[in-house]
Amino acid sequence: MLKNIDPLLSADLLGHLAAMGHGDVLALVDRNYPAASTAQRLVTLPGVDVPRAARAILSVLPVDTFVEPAVLRMGAVGDEEVVQPVHAELQAVVDEAEGRAVTSAAVERFEFYRRAGAAYVVVATTEDRPYGCFLITKGVV
């Protein structure tokens, strides 16, 4: 038991977040993303949507200030630049956690898969909205 740590942050997830270095990438993905077959390291958060998972993770993980954009989102096929509701919600969570406007951008689906395959850790949620997949670059404290 730890004080002031979000209960979603299991020992496994906390260990991965702590082991990440500056510039490492965390993939936060929805239920449709093929996490089990592509992740180097995988943490699952059943029954949790992306905004809730992001709030917990970003309570301890700093977002990079040297890389722009520090947050990438999977764009909808054929409409990559359209900001989906799940994208807007995640952006609000990131901005609130950082206390600043964090630059984000869309990435084409297969480019997202390529980048997520190289992520330090993949956190799989049960987010049911499509295109609820993000890459967050870790910053420094």
Active site members: 22, 64, 113
Contacts of residue 71, defined as CB under 8 A and 6 or more positions apart, other chains included, come to: 63, 90, 91, 94, 102, 103, 104, 105, 134, 135, 136, 137
Q: ∠ CA 58-94-39 to the nearest 5 degrees?
A: 60
27 and 116 Cβ atoms separated by less than 8 Å? yes
Q: Which two tokens stand for residue 89?
A: 């919600």
